[in-house]
Amino acid sequence: MPNSNADKLLLELVACDRCKNAFMMNKGEKLRKQENNEELVCKNCIKLEERKKQLELGVINNLIESHKEIEVSILEVKDNIDISKSEFNKQHFLERIKKRSQALTKSIELLQKIVESNDEKYINDYKKLFEKLKEDLS
Ligand SMILES: [Zn+2]
């Protein structure tokens, strides 16, 4: 009985196009995806992709915040120089700007790594690293 409804409800063992692990997929769904040239992706890979997207969004928000803070720091330095023309706060503010811009560079590097990486363990390492980065800055 090919193409019967009962046939389409059958589960079939297929290989994930990303991680190559075998998983069970509805036969009708598999045929539909193959007809549309869609990837056959297992649940783990779908979850991993969602987590990566959330993480990227978090990093981008952090970058925007850091950028705003750098702009504020630059304005503070400018005000201080204008008002006092002295050196006492300048070095402190310049150090702060330097630290933040280093953090920005590091964040972008980490973001690139996470986008290239397909390893779930790496995401956790990254989160820890980024939390530490935030602590260092506060
Ligand atoms: Zn997979």
pLDDT single digits (tens) 17-48? 999 999 999 999 999 999 999 999 999 999 98
- Tokens (6 digits) for 29: 């769904």
User: 12 C-alpha vs ligand 1 centroid, how far in Å?
Assistant: 15
Strand locations in the chain (E): 11-15, 22-26
Whether residue 2 is predicted with pLDDT greater than 60 in this model: the reply is no
- pTM over cut 0.85: no
Residue with tokens 């050196």: 87
User: 38 C-alpha vs ligand 1 centroid, how far in Å?
Assistant: 14
In the chain the first and final C-alpha atoms are separated, in Å, by: 67
pLDDT for 4 equals 58
pLDDT for 7 equals 62
Contacts of 52 (CB under 8 A, 6+ apart): 114, 115, 123
